[in-house]
């Protein structure tokens, strides 16, 4: 298993990283408990020119500050006051590109995920639920993705391009024309196991 390095994150933009991260494993080791899932759906947020991004127009707030950090850190923020959304910051310092991980397929620690979510049937099909299953909270905002808490591994799973569905992003209608850009990537449902 190869943990992705800092150089990996800074050397590709959000759209490219979003596509490449499909099939890779998102792993957390929180309080000594390991949980992991294959990334099955992502969205790219392409910096200051992307109206759907928190960093649109170069906006900089206490919450999105970490988007301006150099690639290879986690951007975790709260949406609607309830849901934690997990993003991977890519490219260089002051270039706020990020990849939103929208869905995973659990491969390790499913029992822990069930306990964390307090449910019988495990669902990780949404950006808010996958963070809950993996134990990611806002406390992990800015976490180094090459550290010992949260990281992404190449587990040898290859996703052929023809199995990747590309489409417009979800829930960003307010972004006008930018909402139509093909920045959403997911593995074809028939290939999720």
Is 70 a binding residue for DNA by CB under 7 A? The answer is: no
Give yes or no for residue 170 binding DNA (CB under 7 A). Answer: yes
Kindly determine how many residues on this chain lie close enough to bind DNA according to the rule CB under 7 A.
Answer: 36
Are the C-beta atoms of 155 and 183 separated by less than 8 Å? no
Give the one residue of 11, 13, 16, 63 binding DNA; rule: CB under 7 A: 63
Q: Is 80 a residue that touches DNA (CB under 7 A)? A: yes
- Tally the C-alpha atoms within 13 A of residue 83's C-alpha that lie toward its C-beta: 12
Region near DNA per CB under 7 A, out of 25-33, 46-54, 146-154, 183-191: 46-54
Q: Which of 80, 179, 79, 86 is nearest to 124 (CA)?
A: 86
> How would you label 160-187 residue by residue, b for 16+ Cβ within 10 Å and e otherwise?
eeebeeeeebeebeebeebbebebbbbb
The nearer residue to DNA, 31 or 174, going by C-beta atoms, is: 174
128 scored as a contact of DNA (CB under 7 A)? yes
Asked if 25 and 38 touch (Cβ cutoff 8 Å), the reply is: yes
Q: Can you read off the two tokens belonging to residue 169?
A: 């992003």
Closest contact distance (angstroms) between CB of 70 and DNA is 17
Tokens 């979510």: give the residue.
117
* Bridge partners of residue 43, in order along the sequence: 100, 184
The CB-based long-range contact list for 79-82 (8 Å cut-off, 24+ gap) reads 79/127, 79/128, 82/128
Interaction between residue 114 and DNA (CB under 7 A): no
Q: How far apart are CB 155 and DNA at their closest, in Å?
A: 24
Please report whether residue 136 would count as binding DNA according to CB under 7 A. Answer: no
Q: Is 87 in the site for DNA (CB under 7 A)?
A: yes
Q: Does 59 bind DNA (CB under 7 A)?
A: yes
The CB-of-60 to DNA minimum distance in angstroms stands at 8
Q: Which residues bind DNA (CB under 7 A)?
A: 43, 45, 52-55, 59, 61-64, 67, 75, 77-83, 85, 87, 98, 100, 117, 123, 125-129, 170-174
């Amino acid at each position: 298993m190869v943990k992705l390095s800092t150089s990996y994150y800074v050397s590709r933009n959000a759209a490219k990283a979003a596509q490449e991260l499909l099939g890779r494993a998102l792993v957390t080791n929180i309080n000594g408990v390991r949980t992991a899932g294959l990334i099955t759906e992502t969205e790219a947020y392409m910096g200051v020119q992307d109206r759907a991004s928190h960093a649109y127009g170069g906006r900089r707030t206490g919450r999105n500050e970490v988007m301006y950090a150099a690639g290879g850190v986690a951007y975790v923020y709260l949406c609607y006051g309830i849901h934690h959304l997990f993003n991977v910051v890519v490219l260089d310092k002051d270039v706020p590109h990020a990849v939103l991980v929208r869905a995973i397929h659990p491969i390790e620690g499913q029992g822990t995920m069930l306990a964390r979510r307090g449910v019988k049937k495990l669902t990780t099909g949404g950006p808010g639920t996958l963070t809950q299953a993996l134990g990611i909270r806002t406390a992990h905002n800015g976490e180094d993705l090459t550290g010992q808490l949260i990281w992404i591994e190449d587990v040898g799973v290859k996703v052929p391009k023809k199995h990747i569905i590309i489409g417009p992003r979800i829930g960003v209608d307010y972004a006008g024309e930018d909402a139509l850009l093909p920045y959403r990537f997911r593995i074809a449902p028939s290939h999720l196991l």
